[in-house]
């Protein structure tokens, strides 16, 4: 490990629009606005955490003051403005964390700064206000007039994870950009690029698990990858990732379903006991099992397999197991598991509660067959 270790989320933070992951609809619009010199005076960046809102705000602040922009509307990183921005010595870019500076006095201080023109030959003064929804109502009101009629050189970039908490009067004065959650595909590609640069060996299935766990947040994905890489000596394997993230392996659900198909209740109970002994709670187990049957249902129609956010080799396993089950069993199994999960918190003996659900699943095929036979006999008598 290097002496001056820097976490990946900081080391590989995008410095240009073309390196921002999964937000091309935002970066393309911003670059076109810069290229045609049609910049709004106030922007509002909305979206989940860790998807690049503050990063894009900083890139925009750097790029619009760059004196040697490329033809692709990217900052040069060599002019005085870019150098001062990189070294955090720029007097033309101000960042305010509204989570800890949310009073009227903080906003009034910012408004006082807006009166002064940019220095060092820069065209704009940029004010980045992060977590802007944390401002108090009085602070919002104090900010309204400046946001509506700012000086020609002032650019405000507001960032928030909770757009619904911002006053409509603020929203109407901003050009709004909605950031998307980063897809698993984009996350995996980005992580694999970083692994290659850092000489970290990896299995694609491991990166897929990290992408799923991060839930579209690139910052979380990079943090998880750093932890597992340290834990496994730069060997990102599927096994080490499952162990570190403390999640149930797909194989448990496949083996459990196989035992249910065979109506081998003893194997079902032994597998569940193994799961409990590894420290997993019954509700998280049932939640995963519900998702397993949902994926089996998806495999019944090739057109909807794209809804399964899984590695290709796991999809093959699902296709194989789905062909062993009929739709009636899968639908009824989903109903049994869903009802059990909903009533899990109210049960006193939680392990027994889950075991009863597994017993119902084990004999579910017989119950469906009996009902089907009774309906068939009833129809015969009728006609």
The residue among 129, 144, 178 that closes a domain is 178
pLDDT at position 267, please? 92
Total-model pTM: 0.77
pLDDT, mean over the chain = 85
25-70 per-position pLDDT tens digit: 888 998 888 888 888 888 999 988 888 888 899 899 888 888 888 8
- Mean pLDDT for the stretch of residues 1-23: 79
pLDDT at res. 2: 46
CA distance 52 to 14: 9
Percent with pLDDT over 70 in the chain = 96
pLDDT in tens, 242-251: 878 877 888 8
Cα gap 329→371, rounded to integer Å: 12
Say whether pLDDT at 382 is over 60.
Answer: no
DSSP for 168-197, written as a single string:
HHHHTTSEEEEPPPPPHHHHHHHHHHHHHH
Q: Return the pLDDT at 378.
A: 57
* CB hemisphere CA count around 149 (13 angstroms): 1
Let me know whether 93 and 110 are in one domain. Answer: yes
Distance of alpha carbon 148 from alpha carbon 163, whole angstroms: 19
Tens digit of each residue's pLDDT (9 = 90 or more) over 176-205: 999 988 888 888 889 998 888 888 888 888
The mean pLDDT of 223-238, rounded to a whole number, is 85
* pLDDT greater than 90 at residue 256: yes
Strand partners, 46: 160, 178
Question: What is the average pLDDT across 221-239?
Answer: 85
H helices of 232-349, in order, are 238-245, 250-261, 265-277, 282-298, 312-322, 327-342
318 to 181, 273, 325, 354, 381: CA distances (angstroms): 26, 24, 11, 23, 40
Q: Is the predicted pLDDT of residue 3 greater than 60, yes or no? A: no
In contact, 31 and 66? CB cutoff 8 Å: no
Give the end of a domain, one of 132, 152, 178.
178
**Domain range for 356:** 250-374
DSSP string, 155-169: EEEEEES-GGGS-HH
Dig out the tokens for 155 from the structure: 């650019």
Measured CA to CA, the distance from residue 20 to residue 182 in angstroms comes to 11
User: Do 235 and 258 reside in the same domain of the chain?
Assistant: no
Q: Nearest 5°: CA angle at 25, between 94 and 216?
A: 80
Mean local confidence (pLDDT), 270-294: 89
Domain boundary among 157, 178, 199: 178
Assign 1 a pLDDT band (cuts: 50, 70, 90).
Answer: very low
Report how far residue 184's alpha carbon sits from residue 290's, in angstroms, rounded to the nearest whole number: 21
Task: Judge contact between 46 and 160, C-beta under 8 A.
Answer: yes
Kindly report, residue by residue over 87-146, the tens digit of the pLDDT.
888 888 888 888 887 788 888 888 888 888 887 777 888 888 888 888 888 888 888 888
- Reference 177, options 16, 55, 12; nearest CA is 55
Task: Report how far apart the first and last C-alpha atoms of the chain are (Å, whole number).
Answer: 80
Does residue 35 form part of some domain? yes
Judgement on whether residues 150 and 33 belong to the same structural domain of the protein: yes
Phi-psi region of 382 (alpha: psi -120 to 50; beta: other; left: phi over 0): alpha
Residue-level pLDDT at 38: 84
CA 16/CA 59 separation, integer angstroms: 6
- Give the mean model confidence (pLDDT) for residues 254-259: 92
pLDDT at 352: 92
Q: Are residues 225 and 140 in the same domain?
A: no
Q: Does residue 81 sit within a domain?
A: yes
Domain of 293, CATH number, reads 1.20.272.10
Domain identity same for 147 and 214: no
Please say if the pLDDT value at position 166 is more than 50: yes
pLDDT at res. 95: 85
Average pLDDT, integer, range 3-15: 80
Give the three-class secondary structure for 126: strand
Q: Which helix (H) or strand (E) holds 20?
A: none
Q: Are residues 302 and 357 in the same domain?
A: yes
Q: Is residue 379 part of a domain?
A: no
What pLDDT score does 373 carry?
59
Q: How far apart are alpha carbons 57 and 130 in whole angstroms? A: 9
| 266 pLDDT more than 90 | yes
| Rg, Å, the chain Cα set | 27
Residue closest to 211 by CA, chosen among 181, 233, 239, 235: 181
> Does one domain contain both 165 and 301?
no
What pLDDT does residue 381 have? 57
pLDDT at 379 over 70: no
16 and 97 fall within a common domain:
yes
Residue 224 placed within a domain: yes
């Amino acid at each position: 490990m290097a002496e001056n270790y820097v976490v990946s989320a900081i080391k590989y933070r995008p410095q240009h629009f073309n390196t921002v992951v999964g937000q091309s609809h935002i970066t393309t619009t911003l670059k076109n606005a810069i290229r045609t010199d049609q910049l709004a005076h106030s922007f509002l960046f909305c979206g989940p955490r860790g998807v690049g809102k503050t990063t894009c705000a900083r890139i925009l602040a750097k790029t619009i003051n760059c004196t040697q922009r490329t033809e692709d509307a990217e900052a040069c990183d060599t002019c005085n403005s870019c150098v001062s921005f990189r070294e955090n010595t720029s007097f033309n870019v101000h960042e305010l964390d509204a989570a800890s500076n949310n009073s009227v006095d903080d906003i009034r201080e910012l408004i006082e700064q807006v009166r002064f023109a940019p220095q060092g030959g820069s065209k704009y003064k940029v004010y980045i206000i992060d977590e802007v929804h944390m401002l108090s109502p009085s602070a919002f009101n104090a900010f309204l007039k400046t946001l509506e009629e700012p000086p020609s050189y002032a650019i405000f970039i507001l960032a928030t994870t909770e757009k619904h908490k911002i006053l409509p009067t603020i929203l109407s004065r901003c050009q709004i950009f909605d950031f998307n959650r980063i897809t698993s595909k984009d996350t995996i590609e980005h992580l694999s690029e970083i692994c290659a640069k850092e000489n970290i060996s990896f299995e694609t299935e491991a990166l897929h698990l990290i992408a799923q766990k991060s839930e579209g947040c690139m910052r979380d994905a990079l943090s998880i990858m750093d932890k597992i890489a340290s834990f496994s000596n730069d060997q990102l394997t599927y096994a080490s990732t499952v162990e570190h993230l403390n999640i149930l392996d797909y194989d448990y659900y496949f083996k459990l379903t196989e035992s249910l198909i065979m109506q081998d209740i003893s194997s079902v109970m032994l597998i569940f006991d193994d799961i409990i002994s590894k420290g997993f709670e019954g509700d998280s187990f049932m939640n995963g099992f519900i998702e397993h049957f949902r994926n089996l249902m998806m495999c019944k129609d090739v057109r909807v397999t794209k809804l399964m956010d899984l590695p290709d080799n796991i999809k093959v396993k699902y296709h194989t197991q789905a062909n062993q089950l009929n739709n009636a069993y899968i639908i009824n199994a989903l109903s049994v598991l869903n009802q059990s999960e909903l009533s899990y918190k109210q049960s006193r003996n939680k392990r027994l509660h889950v075991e009863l659900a597994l017993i119902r699943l084990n004999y579910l095929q017989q119950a469906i067959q009996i009902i089907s036979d009774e309906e068939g006999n009833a129809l015969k008598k009728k006609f």
